[in-house]
Amino acid sequence: MCDLLRGINLKNAAMAAKRTAQKNALRAKAKASRRGAKSARRTSPSKQKDLACPIVGVGGSAGGFEAAMELLRNLPSRTGMAFVIVQHLDPHHASRLSNLLGKVTAMPVSEVTQTTTPKPNTVYVQPPNKCVMAKDGTLRLVRREERLNVAIDHFFESLAEECGSRAIGIVLSGTGSDGTAGLRAIKAAGGLTFAQNQESAKFDGMPRSAIRSGFVDLVLTPREIAREIERVANHPYIRRPLSDPEEIEKAAYRQADDLGRIFLSLKKQMGVDFSAYKESTLIRRIQRRMALHRIEKISQYARFLCDNKKEIEALFDDLLINVTRFFRDEALFRALKKRFLPALLKNKSKDRQPELRAWVPGCASGEEVYSLAICILETLGSGPSKMRIQIFGTDLS
């Protein structure tokens, strides 16, 4: 009997040891998985953006060359930023832009080649008959459009997508409106935007268009813009931006009281409660405003915001900035056309008086409303239809 009990105990001990070993193996596997996840987060696209240097896009046309020289002349050589000069150049003549700009700055100046990795404290110049795009941590050359020259818009928009809050856009002297749409994209991505003031611009068409759009943060002379660039280069928003969700969550927890005061100021003046707003967007927008006002602590900004009507309105506009384009979420519209609209329209067509109503909340300037209308019409086809379509678009701003 004792031998039997001893055998049972040994068997139980062996099974317990096996279970312990399995648990330890699972713990080790989970730990390794967490390490792998952390490593993946460190090399994720958002982290790669943080590790890359901030990029300043400088766009100009007629009179923009002189303004760019004045800007570079007053910039320190070690801001930690890369500068990309995009000018409207004659496509049929070689450019001496890099040689001339190199005479007014201690930073190295070179033309962008087919694929260039931007380095801090370096100036890059767009070559003639080409457009520059920012993509995957590099500057790339693409073919210039013959009819409509919007090289500045194209570059600024790619810069916004590539660098996010570490993108800075500057529109200098020039005719037309190139650069305005690009500044909108940069501001929507959380970057900073500047325009040369009309008094100092040789041709004020481009700066005037940008200023009137409402997407310019600061309107200054080229010399004053240089001073602001030097200052914001060392601000935490540019130097060490928060992008990891865990970091943002921790920051929101630490600063809950200050965020509460900011919510209260917004609700008191604008009548909108942002307490349920997306935390990551909210904190980035607040930090953007802090960078513009030379404020580094959110507690200081909360005090600054209190009873400051102009700044409350500016923050409100920043939080509700219109970020939209036709078919913006391509995957969503593809699924809508392939999976949902055909079945929905088929069911509706069985009604005696077929009618389809749709509502697009937060429609900004209406691009998504038109995109939905196009999808519905394409799904209905070119044949006759009795379907009555109504689409409502609403937006708080």
In this predicted structure, what is the pLDDT of residue 140? 95
In this predicted structure, what is the pLDDT of residue 339? 92
Q: Which DSSP symbol is given to 166?
A: G
Helix axes 309-319, 298-305, angle to 10 degrees: 120
302 vs 308: CA distance, rounded Å: 10
Cβ pair 57, 85 in contact under 8 A: no
Please spell the DSSP secondary structure of 130-141, one letter per residue.
EEEEEETTEEEE
**Dihedral sign of CA atoms 141, 145, 146, 151 in order:** negative
End-to-end Cα distance, the chain: 85
Cβ pair 203, 49 in contact under 8 A: no
pTM of the predicted structure, to 2 decimals:
0.75
In this predicted structure, what is the pLDDT of residue 4? 37
- Looking only at the bridges linking them, the beta strands covering 167-171 and 192-196 are parallel
287 vs 281: CA distance, rounded Å: 10
For 151, the token pair is: 């090289």
- Looking only at the bridges linking them, the beta strands covering 82-87 and 218-220 are unpaired
3-class state of residue 99 by DSSP: helix
**Phi/psi of residue 13, each to 5°?**
-65, -40
pLDDT in tens, the chain (397 residues): 444 334 434 444 444 444 444 444 434 443 443 444 344 344 344 444 544 799 999 999 999 999 999 999 999 999 999 999 999 877 655 578 889 999 999 999 999 998 899 999 999 999 988 899 999 999 999 987 765 679 999 999 999 999 999 999 999 999 999 999 999 999 999 999 999 999 999 999 999 999 999 999 999 999 999 999 999 999 989 887 655 666 666 666 677 889 899 999 999 999 999 988 887 788 889 999 999 999 999 999 999 999 899 999 999 999 987 667 788 788 889 999 999 999 999 888 888 888 999 999 888 778 899 999 999 999 998 777 888 999 999 987 6
For residue 190, CA distances in Å to 158, 181, 281, 283, 320 come to: 14, 15, 9, 11, 12
119 vs 140: CA distance, rounded Å: 14
Cβ pair 387, 349 in contact under 8 A: yes
Domains and CATH numbers, the chain: 49-237 (3.40.50.180), 251-319 (no CATH), 330-394 (no CATH)
50 torsion bin: left (phi>0), alpha (psi -120 to 50), beta (else) = alpha
Give the containing element (helix H, strand E) for 124. strand 122-125
Of the candidates 26, 80, 59, the one whose C-alpha atom is nearest the C-alpha of residue 171 is 59
The residues annotated with a catalytic role in the active site are 61, 88, 178
